[in-house]
Amino acid sequence: MSTSPAAPAQPQRTDTLIPRQALFGNPTRSAGRISPDGQWLSWMAPSSGVMNVWMAPASDPSAARVMTKATERPIPQHFWAPDSRSILYVQDKAGDENYLLYGIDVASGQERALTPFDKTRVQVVGTSTKVRDSILIGLNNRDPRFHDVHRLDLNSGDLTLVQQNDSYVAFVADDDLALRWALRQNAAGGMDMFEMRDGTVADAPREVTSLEDALATSPAGYTADGRTLYWIDSRGRNTAALIAENTETGEKQVIGQSDKADIGSVMQNPTTGQVEAYAVDYLTTEWNALDPAVKASLDWLDGRLEGDFGVQSRTDDDTKWVVWNDPLTGPSKVYLFDRPAGTLTEFYTTRPELAGAPLQPMHPVEIASRDGLTLPSYLTLPLGSDPDRNGVPNAPVPMILLVHGGPWARDSYGFNSYHQWLANRGYAVLSVNFRGSTGFGKDFVNAGNLEWAGKMHDDLIDAVEWAVGKGIAQQDQIAIMGGSYGGYATLVGLTSTPETFACGVDIVGPSNLETLLSTIPPYWEPMVKQFHERMGNPETPEGKALLQDRSPLYKADRIIKPLLIGQGANDPRVNQAESDQIVAAMEKAGIPVTYVVFPDEGHGFHRPENNIGFNAIVENFLASCLGGRAEPIGDAVKSSTAEIAMGAEHVRGLGGTSAVTGE
């Protein structure tokens, strides 16, 4: 698909400060969908300042009504029941990630909890094009480690136990809602995959992976007729291919592959389940169509939309698509595509306030590591610094190294609110897919095994040296920032290479890998072997020694540059103790730190007022370190629930108070 940036909507000024609210506040609308029967449109939009689910007839989108009543925490996700009679959504409490499933009856508007349990996290195990009124869900209300599979009648709310689970990581169902596979981690850290018949799991696994293929190989679902089973599979190759298995003969055929990257997203026919197109996401996303009609539609859209685009919802008869469009240097739009009529109608603009804002192009770049790996990366430069748009400023500028979480995740091309925000404040922004990142083949992932704070950090340092050598970054004006693993990388950067960075921003990052592994959520326990093999095994002397050596907590006294830490009090992945303990160590050593805690957040800050409040602190902190621009804090922190536990005096605009709390 096209990736050329659209021309600016209007002349841009280098002095325009994009408000934080425009980038991190509630979007006007998001997550648009069309019901399977094509009769209804749904989307997320604010109601009383909180993101809720809205709905309107497809024939009259202006007749919209709000369907949910969230008053504090935004609803993160919604989707349609297969029979189009209800809208489903998930919601947790204060960031605890115990997501429950709720349903709203379209006709009556009645809303109810479909999984009314405490300390329970729901999983969707299977949906069907044949069985329209039911789905399979997993619930860990019996044992928090394992999800038992239940059949849920979406209209009556009845739950029927299908499979008690005492050891399996996941299940795969067919279009009849019959369980066909049970997956369990093996001693090597890979996966044993057992076939199932009539609720009975086979004695021996039919398919097995070792650790090296564990993150890139799994069954990916059946066609509706059950004749084809799709796999994403990296066995016997580096990058994961898309494979179709004939379930009668067992013959497997590669139908999608790339030497550069794993197969990513796929488009499947809404009723037959046949794969019609697949995506390869290396530096940018490229779609490859297998179905001629789908190819014609994608080509038609490509000729009319600037930048990147994709399909986010389809009707069962496949005549209507909801299409997103990222013009890359403008606010994203969503369209309704009538395939038979050949018409494209704007559904909404996600953030219309960004129209005409000085948004900057993202440059995909390849960076060489010191040992020969290629690190796919993304660079955004401040407006006016690169008039010839070749990805190198006329003179070096301050830079933020923005490190992704996971680490078994990746950065991708496209509009990025953090890139745009920081570039607008005068910084180059560099995001690096360091070894261990997913999507670039198993060799790249496995090169990160046991390399937390080792070669994974070397890759980040190599990227910094690349930016300095290219004349992009000023060597003494580089900050490191990130969330989750990115927060950990920030702490590693300030403890292991204390002279490299001018300052750091750690968001929900672990400081002690031993305590991190000892406090993982219980539903991660079935996968703990993989954590041990990739990070270090605390149950062995050498593994424990490695984890201690790679934990920034034990090197806290080496920190010599300013540090800002943000933490959610209810984080189930990286407990608050991870931040508390390194702050305490710094305090004991007399090292200044600014520490912000949100009592109503978990792993990241999802309430817009909290995200904006923290980012107000971040940009004023960075301005004091690197000299960039900053929107004044104003009432942003007071409007959030931020508690400044320590170090308010180190951030301009916090007033030097020891605590700031806004309700």
CB 379 within 8 A of CB 430: yes
- Written as one letter, the residue type at 243 is I
Alpha helices in 453-484 (DSSP H): 455-469
398 — pLDDT class (breaks 50, 70, 90) = very high
Quote the pLDDT of residue 4.
Answer: 36
Rounded CA gap, 321 and 315, in Å? 7
Rounded CA gap, 208 and 194, in Å? 9
Residue pLDDT, tens place only, 569-592: 999 999 999 999 999 999 999 999
Residue pLDDT, tens place only, 170-224: 999 999 999 999 999 999 999 999 999 999 999 999 999 999 999 999 999 999 9
Quote the pLDDT of residue 14.
Answer: 55
Cα 19 to Cα 49, 197, 364: the distances in Å are 17, 57, 26
Considering only 11-25, 133-147, 334-348, which range has the smallest mean pLDDT? 11-25
Mean per-residue pLDDT for 86-98? 96
CB atoms within 10 A of CB 436: 24
Residue pLDDT, tens place only, 586-638: 999 999 999 999 999 999 999 999 999 999 999 999 999 999 999 999 999 99
220 φψ region: left (φ > 0), alpha (ψ -120 to 50), beta (else): alpha
| Virtual torsion, Cα 346, 21, 603, 661, nearest 10 deg | -150
Catalytic residues, by residue number, are 484, 571, 603
Residue pLDDT, tens place only, 57-70: 999 999 999 999 99
Quote the pLDDT of residue 136.
Answer: 98
Domains recognised in the chain with CATH numbers? 362-531+557-613 (3.40.50.1820)
What DSSP line would sit under 333-357, residue for residue? EEEEEETTTTEEEEEEES-GGGTTS
Mean per-residue pLDDT for 383-405? 96
C-alpha torsion sign, points 122, 128, 134, 136: negative
Considering only 3-12, 57-66, 649-658, which range has the smallest mean pLDDT? 3-12
CB 378 within 8 A of CB 431: yes
Strand blocks (E) in 381-418: 397-403
Rounded CA gap, 121 and 278, in Å? 30
Residue 660 has pLDDT above 80, yes or no: no
663 — pLDDT class (breaks 50, 70, 90) = very low
Backbone angles phi, psi at 583, to 5 degrees: -65, -40
Within 13 Å of residue 120, how many CA atoms lie on the same side as its CB? Answer: 20
Strands of the sheet containing 263-268, edge to edge, are 263-268, 275-281, 285-289
CB 567 within 8 A of CB 641: no
654 — pLDDT class (breaks 50, 70, 90) = confident
Quote the pLDDT of residue 45.
Answer: 98
The token pair at 238 is 């580096």
Residue 655 has pLDDT above 90, yes or no: no
Question: Which 8-state DSSP code applies to residue 75?
Answer: P
The per-residue pLDDT of the chain, averaged, comes to 95
CB 361 within 8 A of CB 389: yes
Mean per-residue pLDDT for 292-311? 97
Residue 662 has pLDDT above 90, yes or no: no
Buried b (16+ CB within 10 A) or exposed e, 376-388: bbbbbbbbebbee
What percentage of the chain has pLDDT greater than the value 90?
95
Cα 10 to Cα 23, 28, 333, 423: the distances in Å are 18, 21, 17, 19
